[in-house]
Structures are given as C-alpha cells and as structure tokens.
Amino acid sequence: MKKGTLYTLVIVVVLAVVGGVWYHINYGKTYYYGQVGDVARTEKEPKGYPTGYYYEITGYDKDGKAKKMEVGSFAGHKFVKGRYIKIGWSKAKKVVDYDQAAWKQIPKKAQEKLPAPKNP
C-alpha cells in the first residue's frame, strides 16, 4: 500500500470517529423522568390552529441527576396533571420527544426523587 493512500485512509477514519463523537454528544438523547404539574404558559396560535400548552418539568435521569425543562404539548392537547412523563432531551435540540411513563418504567434513582404514586 502506498504511503499517500495510507495517510488518506487514516485521515478518513479519524474524521469519521471525531464526527461520530460530536454527533453523539450534541444529538444523542438522554431520557429524563418527571411528573406533570400545572400549565406554565400558553401560546395563542393563529386562527385555525390549536393553542400551545407549555409545562415546566424537572426531570431526573437514570442516575438521579435533575434537569429543568420546558415541554410543549402537541396539537393543543393538555397533559394530565400528576402523570409521569419520559422526556427525550438532546444538547442541540433540547426536548426531542416525550411519552407517558408508568411508575414501573422509571429507573430507581429517578423514582427516589419523584413523589410515589398513591396507588402503585
């Protein structure tokens, strides 16, 4: 193998690794678990579009580390107060997705930080 080809191959591999690490740090999701509270703010949309509802939720990851996030509902639906929520968060896009979570789905260290359900 020629030296020039070897150098090119090494540079391509290094760039691919660096690019993959950068992408994972900025766009990789971390999941946080929280409990829905009151609506923090509403956003009136133009006529014909549903109102946006936003909630300030403190979520906890699998290690129990807290993160305060603003989560907006889709299509004008309000969240049910007291329900548990799983929030996908990335450094670049902030809140990426969310879904309802059952108490059993929440990691133990996050459960320690959240109020337990009345009827588990």
Closest CA to 98 of 72, 78, 117: 72
pLDDT one-digit tens code per residue, 76-102: 889 999 999 999 999 888 899 999 999
Contact between 36 and 82 (Cβ < 8 Å): yes
pLDDT one-digit tens code per residue, 1-45: 687 888 888 889 889 988 888 887 778 889 999 999 999 898 888
Residue 81 CA: distances (Å) to CA of 9, 100, 108: 55, 12, 22
- Delineate the domains of the chain, giving CATH numbers in brackets: 30-111 (2.40.50.480)
Give the CA angle between residues 21, 27, 29 to the nearest 5°: 110
Between residues 82 and 119, which one has the greater pLDDT?
82
- Cβ neighbours of residue 22 closer than 8 Å, sequence gap 6 or more: none
Range scoring the smallest mean pLDDT among 71-75, 81-85, 108-112: 71-75
